[in-house]
Amino acid sequence: MFVGNLPSDASEDGVRELFSEFGTVRSIQLASDVFTGRCRGFGFIEMEGHEARAAIAGLDGKTFGGKSLKVRYEDTTRSRGRGGKKRRRR
């Protein structure tokens, strides 16, 4: 799952505690600033399908650290390339 609009002081432990209300959190990856180490406001959480759906329903729009969370399903099996079709060179 993608989680966005996290506060800059968000920690993996805090996010894990929040999401574990809905089931077992397999992994958490929060994006952090290279220089400060603070959260960049988004991350990815891995949970079982039915638990993830419950977390999305329960946490999307919920206030965490003074900010309204955005929690969405993220398909990690798809490639993360940018753009559409690749053009063939002639």
**Mean pLDDT in runs of 10 for the chain (90 residues)?**
97 97 97 96 96 97 96 71 53
Q: What is the pLDDT of residue 86?
A: 52
Structural domains in the chain, CATH included, are 2-72 (3.30.70.330)
Asked if 47 contacts 24 with a C-beta cutoff of 8 angstroms, the reply is: yes
Q: pLDDT for 22-42, tens place per residue?
A: 999 999 999 999 999 999 999
Q: What is the pLDDT of residue 76?
A: 58
Q: What is the pLDDT of residue 17?
A: 97
- Report DSSP letters for 12-77, one per residue: HHHHHHHHGGGS-EEEEEEEE-TTT--EEEEEEEEE-HHHHHHHHHHHTT-EETTEE-EEE---TT
Q: Whole-prediction pTM value?
A: 0.80
